[in-house]
Structure 1
Amino acid sequence: MNAAAGGKGLRILASVSPGEVRVVLLSGDELREAWVERPARPDGVGDVHRARVSALAPAMAGAFLALEGGETGFLPDGEMPGKRGGLSEGQGVLVRVSRAAQGGKGPRLTARLSAAEAALGPAEGPPKLLAQGPEAALRLARALPTAPVVTDGPALAARLRAALGEGRVVLSHQPVFDAALDGEFAALAEPEVPLPGGGRLLIHPTPALTAIDVDAGPVAGQDRAAQQRFNLLAVAESARQVRLRRLAGGILLDLAGLSVKQRAAYAEPLGKALARDGLAQLLGLGPLGLFEIRRQRVHPPLHEVLAGPLTPGLAALRQAVREDAAVPGRRLALRVAPVVLAALQGLPGALAEAEAAMTRKLTLRPDPSLPLAGWTIEEMPHGG
């Protein structure tokens, strides 16, 4: 880790780049949490809205509420303070987003607000966003009041200092993510997780569930004690990856090379590893020998955030800004696939932020020969 990330204990690092903020929680040099936020497209969790009841849904034990911008959220009866029910169509309600939208469904809402949230405005009136939820760095800082916060974004540092106090937030003049942390962060988008001593986890999210397969590799041919040590490592790393990637819904874990009876011995260590994550619960060992885990969804899983052409485009912009800072004054051109360029152009503010951060305007060149994740940065000749 670089100097900004050095030391022991819990630390929060927030890396700001065009169109994106990446935040990590480190314990020593171990990655504990990882967040990717695109400020132009927030997930909405924690937002406080003045909403209007658009339809009652007694069969679903709740109501659909219209939010500003035409979005519709769902308010369960159990999330109304006091006596359940009692809503009527057209009624105004103050609500907070408790779970991000998913799969074409709108966000989940709650009307159980703090006094400060309830004072943000009257319930009656047209739907309106009254306050945005806290960004990841602030959420982590509030949850961990002794952890220092280091960021390379001046505007973010100013917002955090206003909320947390001057002494707790450090503004770094160097990128807070070094190459090692960049690589570890990027690996969270990959399906394969290497395990110490050989073997790997294979993580495959689907719309219905996530499958985690433990591949023992060279350990499979070793003695039973080696296999036991390997599976204990696999159990701990599986629980860590579930939290890091914010996997949600049903999760099936398939350990390596064990009978169903032998696998039962790993229920206790798996349950303990998952207990560190307040959103995860071990349901048990199924008849097929698969551990069944359920994790509550609040924010979108990382694989949803990182899917598509925008992620490689923002990585390319980030690298272009770094190369300009290393040798200012050069004329740089960025070649990306056309679909990646379109994604960058469709994200409000990203290209303008890159231009503002560079000493000379970045030339963008669509290149149909490049794959989705491929891009190149070239130095243009003077006068070219």
Structure 2
Amino acid sequence: MKGSQILIDTLAGRPAAALMRDGQLDDLLIDPPDDVPRPGAIYRARVDRPMKGLGGRMLSIPGGSAFARQGQDLAAGASVLVQVTGYAEPGKAVPVTLKVLFKSRYCIVTPGAPGINLSRSIKDEDARARLRSVLDEFEFPEGVGVILRSAAQTAEDDAVADDLADTLDMALQVSGATKGGPELLLDGPSPDLLAWRDWSDVAASDVILEPGCFDTHGAAEAIDELRQPRVALPGGGHMYVEPTRALVAVDVNTGNDTSLAAGLKTNIAAIRELPRALRLLGLGGQIVIDFAPMAKKDRRSFEQTIRTALRTCPVETALVGWTPLGHFELSRKRERLPISVTLS
């Protein structure tokens, strides 16, 4: 099927959302187990001991511990607001930040980080002027910042204003709750809310809510294929994406293509497919890629292909570079649980 669809259903008994583009599964969001804090959740935490050598602080939150890389000057026992930035690695504390923000479909509100801005991806000057007129209708409290997201460019002014007003009210309410013991103040977004917030290019008429829609629209079959590490690539090549305890290993192979350009062609196909594969598999952290053999002179131009492929991926990913053994490393934010965990 051509076009994009959002499917809202359940998977392994948990709420889930799937994004289908031209009949292909492009993204997948699955609710974590009940005892796992969702990314984006905001807690009032209690400051514990400093972590010598790591430059951060341990904090107590309901149900466990959290770690913030900032806050070295915070006094032990103090209460502070923190936001979950990703999922904890096994045996480690939940990663959090002291820079709390409130993200919605059309806006981001940043208490403690003042400034009124529009997304840099909004290039049209008429649209920027129109959205600044929407912002001019608001009086923002001192110290509070706002960013209008790219989705605001095509939205009705009233929809943008309503979303901003609701998000601002929530931000002021939550950010004022600084006194008391450890407490969950705002849960992280569920899959359906994340889909509404971040997949804003899909029309409301293309959102399917019927139970069983994963089966009837091809998502279930595509999800079953994720249990296998082998990912087929255009042109006949393939790659294996396999998580280990320390890192995610990616092995790229040309298949039956033995031409001189086979390595470069397959590597280009692999890096274009890899962001989607990592999203669907819920993998992050250190990514080590063993690309198919190609000439060293092609590496510089190929790095631009890597940057282009990662630019539109919603999961924050940094290029680390080539290793002495010829592997390429990425560092990817752990904002999703591995699908092996969510489907277990």
Once the two structures are TM-superposed, the CA of residue 87 in structure 1 deviates from its matched residue by 1.7
1:75 maps to 2:65: no
Distance 1:118 1:53 in 2: 22
Identity over the aligned pairs, expressed in percent? 29
TM-score (norm 2): 0.70
Correspondent of 1:96 among 68, 73, 83: 83
1:206 maps to 2:206: no
Paired residues of 2:44 and 2:178 also in contact (CA < 8 A)? yes
Which amino acid in structure 1 is aligned with residue 321 of structure 2? Answer: G
Aligned 1:334-353 pairs, distance under 5 A: none
Paired residues of 2:236 and 2:254 also in contact (CA < 8 A)? yes
Can you list the C-alpha shifts for 1:290-334, whole angstroms capped at 9, x where unaligned? Answer: 12222122233334434xxxx3xxxxxxxxxxxxxxxxxxxxxxx
Would you say how many aligned residue pairs link Structure 1 and Structure 2? 275
1:48 maps to 2:86: no
Which amino acid in structure 2 is aligned with residue 104 of structure 1? Answer: G
Once the two structures are TM-superposed, the CA of residue 265 in structure 1 deviates from its matched residue by 4.4
Which amino acid in structure 2 is aligned with residue 251 of structure 1? Answer: I
Aligned to 2:333: 296
Aligned to 1:353: none
Which amino acid in structure 1 is aligned with residue 99 of structure 2? Answer: R
Paired residues of 1:280 and 1:295 also in contact (CA < 8 A)? yes
Once the two structures are TM-superposed, the CA of residue 179 in structure 1 deviates from its matched residue by 7.1
Aligned to 1:224: 260
Distance 1:134 1:14 in 2: 14
Once the two structures are TM-superposed, the CA of residue 252 in structure 1 deviates from its matched residue by 1.7
1:143 maps to 2:195: no
1:256 maps to 2:256: no
Aligned 1:160-171 pairs, distance under 5 A: 170-171=208-209
CA root-mean-square deviation: 2.7
Once the two structures are TM-superposed, the CA of residue 47 in structure 1 deviates from its matched residue by 1.5
Once the two structures are TM-superposed, the CA of residue 38 in structure 1 deviates from its matched residue by 4.1
User: Between Structure 1 and Structure 2, whose CA radius of gyration is higher?
Assistant: 1
TM-score (norm 1): 0.63
Distance 1:179 1:32 in 2: 13
Relative to its length, the structure with more helix (as a share) is 1
Once the two structures are TM-superposed, the CA of residue 261 in structure 1 deviates from its matched residue by 4.2
Paired residues of 1:255 and 1:263 also in contact (CA < 8 A)? no
Once the two structures are TM-superposed, the CA of residue 35 in structure 1 deviates from its matched residue by 2.1
Distance 2:327 2:306 in 1: 12
Aligned to 1:281: 318
Distance 2:9 2:50 in 1: 43
1:186 maps to 2:186: no
Paired residues of 2:18 and 2:219 also in contact (CA < 8 A)? no
Cα 1:119–1:58 change in 2 (3 A) is: farther
Task: Report the 3-state secondary structure (helix = DSSP H, G, I; strand = E; otherwise coil) of the residue aligned with 1:89.
Answer: coil
Aligned to 2:156: none
